[in-house]
């Protein structure tokens, strides 16, 4: 089972998935085939800030303009990561190995909607799918 946290205690093994760690897993850098980064898609398209700006920073830390609740925001954010890993299957496979027996961290996370949490969820989905297929 994969796990995530904002940070770990000193000496605990971790794998940082922000711009200070594996940049390929930073929502600011991870670019979808449509040309947008995950952060741009989330702030502009999911939260609806594309109605007032082309700059993703305008919506950062603010509530969505489209009245989506936190659960809906989370599911849409998770789906962006799912798409990214479908477009980058080798990276996902690599993370399956690198993140075993460590905590996946995002030192910049300020809420439950963050890349470490999303990556952890998707990695755990592969375990659940594998378990179902083997039974």
CA distances from 17 to 23, 50, 135 (A): 7, 26, 33
Residues 3-28 have pLDDT tens digits of 999 999 999 999 999 999 999 999 99
- For residue 127, the model assigns a pLDDT of 84
What pTM value is reported for the model? 0.92
Residues 52-63 have pLDDT tens digits of 999 999 999 999
Longest CA–CA span in the chain (Å) reads 50
Query: Does residue 64 register a pLDDT over 80?
Result: yes
CA 29/CA 17 separation, integer angstroms: 11
Tokens 């999303």 sit on residue = 118
Average confidence (pLDDT) over 57-78: 96
DSSP 13: -
Residues 78-104 have pLDDT tens digits of 999 999 999 999 999 999 999 999 999
- For residue 1, the model assigns a pLDDT of 93
- For residue 73, the model assigns a pLDDT of 98
The mean pLDDT value of the chain amounts to: 95
Query: In percent, how much of the chain has pLDDT > 70?
Result: 94
């Amino acid at each position: 089972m994969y796990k995530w946290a904002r940070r770990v205690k000193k000496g605990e093994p971790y794998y940082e998935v922000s711009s200070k760690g594996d940049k390929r897993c930073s929502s600011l850098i991870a670019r979808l085939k449509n040309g947008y980064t995950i952060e741009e898609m989330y702030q502009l398209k999911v939260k609806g800030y594309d109605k007032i700006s082309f700059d993703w920073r305008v919506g950062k830390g603010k509530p969505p303009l489209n009245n989506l609740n936190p659960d809906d925001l989370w599911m849409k954010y998770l789906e962006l990561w799912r798409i990214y890993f479908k477009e980058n299957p080798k990276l996902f496979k690599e993370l399956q190995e690198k993140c075993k027996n460590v905590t996946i961290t995002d030192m910049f996370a300020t809420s439950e909607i963050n890349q470490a949490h999303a990556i952890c969820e998707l990695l755990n989905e592969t375990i659940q799918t594998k378990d179902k297929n083997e039974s």
